[in-house]
Structure 1
């Protein structure tokens, strides 16, 4: 995700004017965008100045090339005189079956390492069995992972954040990431405003590791995890664009051993 929000033109601005603003924000010339999308530079110039109206396919092609969020793309379709193109389909709908099956496959394949599915407001939509194992190891309710809000449990006292050895470091990273996302997400902005901000930036070590580790204080001692994310490529639905799977990969032999042993003891494990 980009560290800067996409620019917002005046609500009454034409689709062409909004496209020009988006192109400039992407630091692309008309010629470069024309080459990426396969339309002529002359036609793109006419679209941006309002002398030509883009067809739905051309507009979709331009917005995709500019990596404009689908919710914002809908406003450009409206500005161009078309109905909004992209829907936010509930994950439980029949049309999302392939998405649900893919998520289930990725979650199960990540065992014995924890993995969670996050929505656009950092709500935990699903979690694998190893996430429940980790919650149990740190003394939290092992059945509380699904339905939890990750941002809330990291930032509020009494949640998962209290069980992190490097709590301020992780809280700062989460706060900064959520703050960037909240620039285009009013509901997330409201949630963030209700949560305590990190007290102070974490101190910087003399030698920095390749990435920030999530260091957990558990009954089996310190557990360290690398964090990676999986998202869906080429989404055409607003719900799908918001989904991300966070994988917590054990970062050392001890963490692997503890997670593997605890997972193997689960009754009827997946």
Structure 2
């Protein structure tokens, strides 16, 4: 199942007219790095960092990018820092259906197809599903069309009471894991769109069928599994998320490939029986 990307990218949440100094200071404090430590990392001085943050010194374009790198600022927000400092954005935001990304898109689709019969999907920065394989389609069978409207959202599909939530046997535990994951991403990316999604899905009622905080079965697994009912049997998966190293495009930087690895022999045997 391939889904054309139709949702716009997550907008930067920091106004360019705030000035680069306060923005850099906010990122430094968010990362809990002192001015001296940042200066040592960037080959500068604490005095210069202080001058930049207070607006007494205008950093060069190179220095803005160097500080952003050492503060692990997301690519989209690096553009916002450059704009605030009076420079042009460095990183383009290419639509995923642009011919320039044909090879990347085809490679991702080939990757998730090759992962079958195990589930795999590609999501953007706000968990909109851009592509999914037949393993994912299997898990989504029977969900209402309202949740599958393009582009479907992985968090809504999983946590909505009309979605997968009633089928997940250890739902409270899995829900807690997903919400904590989103909280970590909000702290890193400062995304208003992600915050809005978090508030929406966190407010969903927990299905009455959801079990308590413990998994439905004892879990001798190496990682927390999602235990989901499918046609009278319980399938168990652990999740792995991959992103691109050193991306130079906002769109590519915000892509993630999630794979669901079978967590027990019974799940492996069942999925292979469907091939």
In structure 1, what is the equivalent of residue 193 of structure 2? 187
TM-score between the two structures when normalised by the length of structure 2: 0.76
Q: Is the deviation greater in 248-257 or in 210-219?
A: 210-219
Distance in 1, Cα, partners of 2:211 & 2:138: 30
Matched position secondary structure for 2:113: helix
TM-score between the two structures when normalised by the length of structure 1: 0.77
Mapping for residues 135-174 of structure 1, pairs under 5 Å: 135-136=140-141, 139-140=142-143, 147-174=151-178
* Structure 1 residues 198 and 213, CA gap change in structure 2 (3 angstroms): farther
Distance in 1, Cα, partners of 2:69 & 2:99: 26
In structure 1, what is the equivalent of residue 119 of structure 2? 114
Equivalent pairs, count: 253
In structure 2, what is the equivalent of residue 68 of structure 1? 73
Unaligned runs of 5+ in 2: 1-12
In structure 1, what is the equivalent of residue 21 of structure 2? 16
Deviation digits for residues 39-92 of structure 1, max 9, x if unmatched? 455654543344432222221121011111233322221221112333332111
In structure 2, what is the equivalent of residue 79 of structure 1? 84
* Structure 1 residues 13 and 46, CA gap change in structure 2 (3 angstroms): same
In structure 2, what is the equivalent of residue 219 of structure 1? 231
- C-alpha displacement of 1:12: 5.1
Correspondent of 2:260 among 244, 248, 252: 248
Matched position secondary structure for 2:259: strand
RMSD: 3.3
- C-alpha displacement of 1:170: 1.9
- C-alpha displacement of 1:131: 1.9
In structure 2, what is the equivalent of residue 3 of structure 1? none
- C-alpha displacement of 1:115: 0.4
- C-alpha displacement of 1:257: 0.9
Deviation digits for residues 183-218 of structure 1, max 9, x if unmatched? 733334444444443549953589885432110111
Distance in 1, Cα, partners of 2:34 & 2:199: 38
Unaligned runs of 5+ in 1: 1-7, 265-270
* Structure 1 residues 58 and 104, CA gap change in structure 2 (3 angstroms): same
